[in-house]
A and B are shown apart, each in its own frame.
Chain A
Amino acid sequence: DAGVTQSPTHLIKTRGQQVTLRCSPKSGHDTVSWYQQALGQGPQFIFQYYEEEERQRGNFPDRFSGHQFPNYSSELNVNALLLGDSALYLCASSFLRDFQETQYFGPGTRLLVL
């Protein structure tokens, strides 16, 4: 059973560009959450998708947007990249009807903005 997968593993962009990161959830999971982890910090919640809609959102500007597909996979889009967007981007999947909704993380995509 494959766990959560993310692509690409690494990415280099320049300021002002746009980026799309991808996530496939663990088998049987229907919910995807995205997190940003800056160097030396804990992950910070960006948003969560369920039934192809954004359910909850953390304190991130609307340059950060997402999408969930019918097969539950998800994309994170970041527009007008800033140097401060350089971070490890993590995807976590879960099964929403599980009362405790334990989240399982993928390996992450490391984004460097120059």
Chain B
Amino acid sequence: DAKTTQPPSMDCAEGRAANLPCNHSTISGNEYVYWYRQIHSQGPQYIIHGLKNNETNEMASLIITEDRKSSTLILPHATLRDTAVYYCIVRSPMYSGGGADGLTFGKGTHLIIQP
């Protein structure tokens, strides 16, 4: 699975949009981009994933660049409860021959929402 690079920390004001970047310049054509977050001492929470098209769900939006070398997770109206470590993960789909099926977590971005 391709490696990802994320800033170690970011601040965002409550009520504003939080934009979390992720670089995955070595991503392969069939690899998906996944986002998880982990609030202190809890299990990681799935947020969203995508292949090439932009995706939106009730939690967030995922914008993937046309060359797929980077992506941005957008939390449209951040609240204090969004303070967490956000992980960007690139992963091959099942049966693609792309390595172990476990998720490879990096250090993520610690997003702090300021009141």
A105 lies within 8 A of B45 (CB): yes
B46 lies within 8 A of A102 (CB): yes
B102 lies within 8 A of A58 (CB): yes
Comparing A12-20, A43-51, A68-76, A77-85, the segment that makes contact with chain B is A43-51
Interface status of A27 (Cβ within 8 A of chain B): no
Cβ–Cβ < 8 Å partners of B93 in chain A? 99-101
B102 lies within 8 A of A35 (CB): yes
A90 lies within 8 A of B94 (CB): no
Known: A90-B43, A103-B46, A105-B43. A45 touches B94 (CB 8 A): no
Q: In the complex, A101→B93 CA distance in Å?
A: 7
A101 lies within 8 A of B101 (CB): yes
Interface string of B68-99 (1 = CB under 8 A from A): 00000000000000000001000001100000
A103 lies within 8 A of B100 (CB): no
- Residues of A at under 8 Å CB distance from B? 4, 33, 35, 41-48, 55-58, 88, 90, 92, 96, 98-108, 110
